Structure 1
Amino acid sequence: MSQLPKNWSSIQLKNLLSFVLGGDWGKDADYQDDDFETVFCIRGTEFKNWSKEKGITSVERKVKKASAQKRALKLGDILVEISGGGPEQPVGRTVLIDEDALKHNSNYPKVCTNFIRLARPSDSIDSRYLNYYLRSFYASGEVVNYQGGSNNLRNLKFKEYETIEVPIAPQSEQKRIADKLDSVLTKVETAQVRLDKIPTILKRFRQSVLAAATSGELTKNWRESNGLEDWEHVKLKDVGKGFNYGSSTKSQSEGKIPVLRMGNLQGGKLDWEKLVFTSDEAEIEKYKLQPGDVLFNRTNSPELVGKTSIYRGEREAIFAGYLIKVQGTDKLDAEYLNIQLNSSHARDYCWAVKTDGVSQSNINAKKLQAYEFELPSIEEQIEIIRVVTELLSSADLVEKQYKAAKLRVDKMTHSILAIAFSGKLFSPISEEDRVAVTVKTQNSEPQHNQPKAIDKEPDQQTEVVSKTVNKSSNEQASEVFQLLKKNSKGMSAQALFDAQSENTFNAIDDLFSELKKLIEQEMVIQAGEGENCTFKATKK
């Protein structure tokens, strides 16, 4: 643990808990026994959307009355996940039982499942503060050192977990830190919720583009202005060719060229990750792909069978047996075929004609050949390809920006928590700043608007209320401005936030308030928008 502020201490988790007990899954809700009573049981499933739902999906169960009495959750309790997790999600997540969590089905006791441990904080520590620290510990990745079990089901070694050292601020500071984290992390979670809507919006946009492209709506005006004929109703077998199955030979983890499989077909394009290979010359000669070959997934789960992508010659490759290769002709452009087979019309056809097995569905080449659709002239196909490519490229750019933004926001919670428990969430007021700030203390009232120097006792909690807006003072006192002066090419808000981790503006809202003030004073200018937005110090 890094060095803590002078008035902080470090205490093992077990010494901060007054009560620890495992959960009880009990019996089914319709179980009849006078010694049992109805409870609502919180599972690990509820943890994922806890900040929004607060356990509203908890399950009705029956447990012994004595067990319910011992395990009934109370305000301020912390639930620790002790079993579950997996390769991408370590065990050890925590949630706090607050008033909102207790409101759901309030006529019945709340308990946790036996995959969760009830940990009740003692009166010596603020329960929100402790839960935030446990979240910070989990986000740091250190929790993996306290887990065991298999790769798919992991267990928290709770006795060892209880020995972790918790940084302890004075109690008044604990509440202040918890209040600030409540405020700041709510904003971060709001940003996460908004970002999480973007994939659905992009999916609908892409589907709408393909639907308009294959129905004629997308190029209606272009078609009329060019005097082209209406579309022709065709079967794929009459305008396409090939319909070949791929290689059934077992692939290898290494080899001369990749073998494309159904997992490599993603959203009309090829994903070149997670490849297998072959070095068999006969196989390569027989199944080698040519630019423009369209690959149709003939065997997959019911919802994925029929997905299609086009090979554009990115690198040498052959294709596996669960795929069908279709090629264009002088009447059917291969790029347009790829658009057509990814449309909702094609998806509906696949759903209707698939043959369902135990866990997979199949669409053979004969059924693919029988697919019927409306075919525009080759000239209009080329125009459709052009417009669709532009629109989907825009969607791809938005998706790239979304992924970058989500990565930053996801990291932000850990960064903020780490700052909080290093004692740097609230920076102390320097001697140089004393004459430029108005401070409020626990037992004082502001007297005038004029800034005044106030003596500060070592144990008093102080908070900056306002700084003088004199430009020369800002140039000296603003760490943000000094950083921008040193970086003539400008800095993003994320870069500024990272650079300020040990200085005055650690909180997100403080950083943006400072930037806004500097822009209003024409000391800083904003360049660009969105992901590419940077801030630069003016040359005045």
Structure 2
Amino acid sequence: MGKQLSPASREAAGQFPYLRVANVHLGRIDYADVNTMGFSSREREIYGLRPGDILLNEGQSLELVGRSAVYEGADGVYCFQNTLVRFRPSEQVLSAYAQVIFERWLATGVFAAIAKQTTSIAHLGSERFAALDFPLLPLAEQRRIVEVIDAVSAQERAIEASIAKLDMLKVSVMAELASMELGAFEGILERGPQNGIYKPASSYGSEGTPIVRIDSFRGGPSDFTRNLLRVSLSAGEVERYGLVTGDVLINRVNTPELVGKSTAVGRLVEPTVFESNMMRCRVRADRAVPTFVETWLGSSLAKTHFRMRAKSAISQASINRSDVRSCPFPRLDVPRQLNFLKRLAAVRDQQQLEEVELAKLGDLNRGIIDDLLDSGGRARARSAP
């Protein structure tokens, strides 16, 4: 482990840069925010880093304890703090191979299993770390494994870059809405906005009519065919507050950042109602497509409108019918709305395909590492002090 930071070391002569937990991320070291403290010549020999050293988070949240990265800087340019554990491989171990093992141990909870929890911080412990069984394979086998992992990782990075570009394209498509001529939301309404039904907690149970609540959707596409609470209602209440496919629900009471979140009702498998902290709008079929309305209400312009009109009370904010009616809405006819949705769907579909491929590569990567952990010998991990 590294040197402990103290008031004396902060003021001591011989200030020298050192790395700490905040600098060591998974697979990379961030040198943008490096602190200094006093190190004597002897301490610089002890705590100085060499290329190929691996630094692991010694004190972290339980799920991140053991997070590691290979130091690839110059010899002796940085030291390290005691919030990190240094692993200095012997001639029998490649740094890149050891990093593969440590990343797998982090992902599978090996580090979390040996960590000692103190309040919100878990400690890896250099002795507990050193006592772990390390899968020691011949150097040629280590190189082969690293090459395979690197090849898969390169493919993962390429797909991640593609997903990022698709994200930018999606943002660009959505940004087109901001340049369109705007009217008012009330111009596309057939009915509403209508507040939902309020029922006391005693009315909820395992039987009754499914009810959509504010935690039933995130904003955007939703599924109201399952996982809804049920409430006891009269036939008249079900008729008055019953949803139909194409209805648009707008959250009228929520935290300031979530007020106004919206969804278009899709397929329903039984009569379903909505609760009082949201409003239901029914749009005219000749003027608006419900999924386009859903998309628009999730745009930055619509969200800004609701946040500016919201009335705050402690930790909650609310909007009313007038705020919904006055919400801006693009002057686009139905064919152009459908064309916009088609273009946006093409980007989203391609992004989903890329994400599926990325998940497959992740499974392949984990499978390769699992295979290597099931083969070869076992030796003790050793970390330099």
TM range (shorter): 0.7 to 0.9
Partners of 1:162 and 1:407 lie apart in 2 by 32
- Partner residue, 1:449: none
Shift of 1:26: 5.0
Match of 1:78 among 50, 54, 61: 54
1:241 aligns with 2:164: no
Distance 1:58 1:330, change over 3 A: closer
Deviation sequence 1:221-273 (CA, Å, 0-9, x none): xxxxxxxxxx9x44627845322333454496855454333444445321459
Match of 1:289 among 213, 237, 243: 243
Q: How does 1:373-384 map to 2 (within 5 A)?
A: 373=329, 375=331, 380-381=333-334, 383-384=335-336
1:37 aligns with 2:15: yes
Shift of 1:354: 3.3
Contact 2:23–2:34 under 8 Å retained in 1: no
| Same amino acid, percent of matched pairs | 17
Q: How does 1:264-343 map to 2 (within 5 A)?
A: 264-266=216-218, 268-271=220-223, 275-282=227-234, 287-315=241-269, 316-329=271-284, 332-333=287-288, 335=290, 337-343=293-299
Partners of 1:148 and 1:192 lie apart in 2 by 37
- Partner residue, 2:362: 410
Deviation sequence 1:381-410 (CA, Å, 0-9, x none): 2x2343234334323422331221121122
Normalised by the size of structure 2, how large is the TM-score? Answer: 0.75
Shift of 1:183: 4.5
1:395 aligns with 2:371: no
Partners of 1:385 and 1:124 lie apart in 2 by 63
- Partner residue, 2:87: 119
Q: Secondary structure at the match of 1:207?
A: helix
Query: 1:391 corresponds to which letter in structure 2?
Result: R
Distance 1:112 1:143, change over 3 A: same
- Structure 1, gaps ≥5 residues long: 1-20, 217-230, 425-540
- Structure 2, gaps ≥5 residues long: 377-385
Partners of 2:276 and 2:264 lie apart in 1 by 16
- Partner residue, 1:260: 212
Query: 2:342 corresponds to which letter in structure 1?
Result: E
Contact 1:177–1:420 under 8 Å retained in 2: no
Partners of 2:24 and 2:344 lie apart in 1 by 36
Contact 2:159–2:354 under 8 Å retained in 1: no
Query: 1:346 corresponds to which letter in structure 2?
Result: A
Contact 1:40–1:58 under 8 Å retained in 2: no
Shift of 1:277: 0.5
- Partner residue, 2:101: 133
- Partner residue, 2:168: 201
Query: 2:310 corresponds to which letter in structure 1?
Result: K
Query: 1:294 corresponds to which letter in structure 2?
Result: V
Match of 1:184 among 136, 151, 156: 151
Partners of 1:113 and 1:352 lie apart in 2 by 48
Q: How does 1:130-169 map to 2 (within 5 A)?
A: 130-147=98-115, 149=117, 154-156=122-124, 159-169=127-137
Partners of 1:264 and 1:23 lie apart in 2 by 50
Partners of 2:188 and 2:157 lie apart in 1 by 53
Q: Secondary structure at the match of 1:281?
A: coil
Distance 1:39 1:277, change over 3 A: same
Shift of 1:325: 1.7
Shift of 1:311: 0.8
Distance 1:124 1:329, change over 3 A: closer
Shift of 1:195: 4.5
Q: Structure 1 residues 244-253 or 344-353, which shifts more?
A: 244-253
1:96 aligns with 2:51: no
Q: Secondary structure at the match of 2:88?
A: strand
Q: Structure 1 residues 59-68 or 345-354, which shifts more?
A: 59-68
Match of 2:306 among 344, 350, 355: 350
- Partner residue, 1:56: 31
Partners of 1:205 and 1:260 lie apart in 2 by 32
Distance 1:191 1:264, change over 3 A: farther
- Partner residue, 2:383: none
Q: Secondary structure at the match of 2:260?
A: coil
Partners of 2:130 and 2:64 lie apart in 1 by 17
Contact 1:240–1:328 under 8 Å retained in 2: yes
Contact 1:25–1:41 under 8 Å retained in 2: no
Q: Which has the higher contact order (CA 8 A, sep 6+)?
A: 2
Partners of 2:196 and 2:346 lie apart in 1 by 33
Partners of 2:213 and 2:185 lie apart in 1 by 26
Shift of 1:281: 1.9
Query: 2:80 corresponds to which letter in structure 1?
Result: V
Distance 1:406 1:77, change over 3 A: same
Query: 2:65 corresponds to which letter in structure 1?
Result: V
1:365 aligns with 2:321: yes
Normalised by the size of structure 1, how large is the TM-score? Answer: 0.56
Distance 1:390 1:124, change over 3 A: closer
